[in-house]
């Protein structure tokens, strides 16, 4: 399989860490004659590292109020008080949980 096909498949599977590390891992593997298991292990390690870094960045962005979710600082604080879990990519909350902003707004009236 050609490199471009591999990159297309990695992109389709959202394996961004593997895609970023592929050239370096393969170059090192050829130079040092690594076993296939070692190459796969290095690619998987790169993928895990990338996902952890993305998760930490996402948590930092949401907690600091810079999640890019179009919320004001006040609504961000109220959103964090809510027991609902968040989705970093969309900022949506599960519909089965109450929206604390609505609950607090009703109490204030």
**pLDDT in the model for residue 97:** 43
Nearest to 17 by CA among 43, 40, 55, 56: 43
Find how far residue 74's CA is from the centre of its chain.
25
**pLDDT in the model for residue 62:** 76
Q: Is 65 left (phi over 0), alpha (psi -120 to 50) or beta?
A: left
Element containing residue 44 per DSSP (H, E): helix 36-64
Distances (CA, A) of 71 to 14, 66, 76: 28, 9, 6
Per-run averaged pLDDT (10 residues), the chain, 109 residues: 96 96 97 97 96 89 64 49 45 44 47
**pLDDT in the model for residue 68:** 52
**pLDDT in the model for residue 92:** 41
**pLDDT in the model for residue 69:** 52
């Amino acid at each position: 399989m050609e490199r471009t096909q591999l990159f297309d498949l990695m992109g389709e599977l959202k394996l961004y860490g593997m895609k970023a590390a592929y050239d370096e891992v393969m170059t090192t593997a050829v130079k040092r004659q690594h076993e296939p298991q070692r190459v796969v292990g290095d690619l998987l390690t790169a993928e895990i590292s990338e996902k952890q870094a993305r998760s930490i960045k996402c948590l930092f962005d949401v907690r600091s109020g810079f999640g890019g979710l179009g919320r004001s600082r006040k609504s961000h604080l109220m959103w964090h008080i809510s027991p609902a879990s968040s989705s970093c990519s969309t900022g949506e909350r599960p519909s089965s949980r109450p929206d604390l902003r609505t609950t607090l707004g009703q109490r204030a009236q």
